[in-house]
Structure 1
Amino acid sequence: MAHIHLGEGSFPLWALVLWTLIGAGLISAVVYRVRKGGIKTHQIALAGIGAAASFAIFQLNIPVWGGIHMNLTGLVGILAGPLLGALIALVVNIFSAALGHGAVGLIGANTLVNASEAIVAYYAFKTLIQLDWDTFPASASAATLGLSSGAILMGAIIVVSGVNGSALPRADLTVAVGGLVGLNLGVAVIEGVLTGFIVQFLATVRPDLVDLADRKDREEPAGVTA
């Protein structure tokens, strides 16, 4: 949902190097974890579907305050897990940058933003489910929390980096970016509710896809025999 819609050369070189190195470090850690621990077969299919859906809706940009849109990273994180969710964020940003949606030099920064959304959403969802929340409020709240964290991180990256050629003092830039973050927080709630409906539907028809099969079995009443 959050994305840095700035052109090439908008960030100073030191910032591009910093965010690229941090993003590369995150992806390297994710790849190491995947190779060491492996992934479940159904997660591979979910990752492919999630990447396609995220990329498709990601291209529907509303040209308001630099551009806002949905990208379903919260849903991707809940379904595919934090590791594949981070890899999907990388893939979606690479293909989006190739189409001119976001600067190539900002792939590292944008991957950090979108990967954080998937990771936070996944762990928030698991935590709320363990607290016996129902599927819809758990997934909606988790997705909203994940997307909100991404929006805040996006704002922090822009303010810390600064924007080349901008006549705004740092304080004014912070205020402008704060408005953009606030707008994205509102969209996060909308996307969170949409994610809640999707996860609730999947939990009803295929609870195994969201690791709720055991919970559903526990909730089903046991049969009574004479």
Structure 2
Amino acid sequence: MAHIHLGEGSFPLWALVLWTVLGIALLGAVTYRVRKGGIKTNQIALAGIGAAASFAVFQLNIPVWGGVHMNLTGLVGILAGPLLGTLIAFVVNVFSAALGHGAVGLLGANVLINASEAIVAYYAFRTLMRMDWDVFPASASAATIGLSTGAILMGAIIVISGVNGSALPRSDLTIAVAGMVGINLGVAVVEGLLTGFIVQFLASVRPDLVPGATREEREAPAGVGA
């Protein structure tokens, strides 16, 4: 949901290097854990479907305050888990950047943002389900929390980095970014509700596709795969 839409050269070089290094470190850690733990065939299929759905929705831009949209990263995190969710976020951002939706140089920053949404949504959902929440409020709340985390991280990255060529002092930039984050928080609630309906439907017809939906999974400790 949150995404930095600035063009190439918008961030100073040190910021590009910092976010790129952090993004690579995250992807490296995730890849290592995936290779170590392995992936089931149904997880690969689910990841492919999740990536396709996220990418398709991601391209529908609402022209408000620089552009806002949904990208289903909360849903992807809940269904695919934090590891595959992070890899899906990377793939979606790569293809989106190739189409001009976000600068290539900002891939590291955007992967950090969208991966955080998937990771937080997954663990929030598992935690709420272990507290005996119903599927709909648990998934809707988890997705909203995850997406809100991404929106706040997006704002923090922009303010920390600064924007090349901007005449706004840092204080005014912070205020402007805070407004953009506020709009994204509102969209997070809408996307969270949509995610809740989708997860509730899947849990009713295919509970095996929703990790943590069964009683046995609720009582098991939250894992990192799924």
TM (normalized to structure 2)? 0.94
**Secondary structure of 1:25's aligned partner:** helix
> What residue number does 1:209 align with?
209
> What residue number does 2:161 align with?
161
Deviation at 1:111?
0.3
Deviation at 1:6?
0.1
> What residue number does 2:176 align with?
176
> What residue number does 2:87 align with?
87
| Distance (Å, rounded) in 2 between the aligned partners of 1:64 and 1:17 | 29
Q: Deviations over 1:77-126 (max 9, x none)?
A: 00000000000000000000000000000000000000000000000000
**1:43/1:79 contact within 8 Å kept:** no
**Secondary structure of 2:194's aligned partner:** helix
> What residue number does 2:106 align with?
106
**1:125/1:139 contact within 8 Å kept:** yes
Deviation at 1:42?
1.8
| Distance (Å, rounded) in 2 between the aligned partners of 1:119 and 1:7 | 27
| Distance (Å, rounded) in 1 between the aligned partners of 2:66 and 2:213 | 42
| Distance (Å, rounded) in 2 between the aligned partners of 1:104 and 1:72 | 21
CA separation of 1:25/1:173 partners in 2, compared to 1, >3 Å: closer, same or farther?
Answer: same
**2:135/2:213 contact within 8 Å kept:** no
Deviation at 1:40?
2.8
Aligned partner of 1:203: which letter? A
Unaligned runs of 5+ in 2: 219-226
| Distance (Å, rounded) in 1 between the aligned partners of 2:170 and 2:41 | 48
**1:72/1:195 contact within 8 Å kept:** yes
CA separation of 1:37/1:186 partners in 2, compared to 1, >3 Å: closer, same or farther?
Answer: same
TM (normalized to structure 1)? 0.94
Equivalences, count: 218
> What residue number does 1:137 align with?
137
Matched, 1:71 2:65: no
Structure number, greater radius of gyration: 1
Q: What is the percent sequence identity of the aligned residues?
A: 83
> What residue number does 2:45 align with?
45
> What residue number does 1:221 align with?
none
CA separation of 1:149/1:217 partners in 2, compared to 1, >3 Å: closer, same or farther?
Answer: closer
Q: Deviations over 1:161-218 (max 9, x none)?
A: 0000000000000000000000000000000000000000000000010124642999
Deviation at 1:35?
0.4
| Distance (Å, rounded) in 1 between the aligned partners of 2:96 and 2:64 | 19
Aligned partner of 2:40: which letter? K
Deviation at 1:45?
1.1
| Distance (Å, rounded) in 2 between the aligned partners of 1:152 and 1:112 | 12
**1:98/1:104 contact within 8 Å kept:** yes
> What residue number does 1:223 align with?
none
**1:203/1:212 contact within 8 Å kept:** no
| Distance (Å, rounded) in 1 between the aligned partners of 2:211 and 2:58 | 26
**Secondary structure of 2:10's aligned partner:** coil
Aligned partner of 1:100: which letter? G
Unaligned runs of 5+ in 1: 219-226
Aligned partner of 1:86: which letter? T
Q: Deviations over 1:32-77 (max 9, x none)?
A: 0000011233211110000000000000001111110000000000
**2:23/2:111 contact within 8 Å kept:** yes
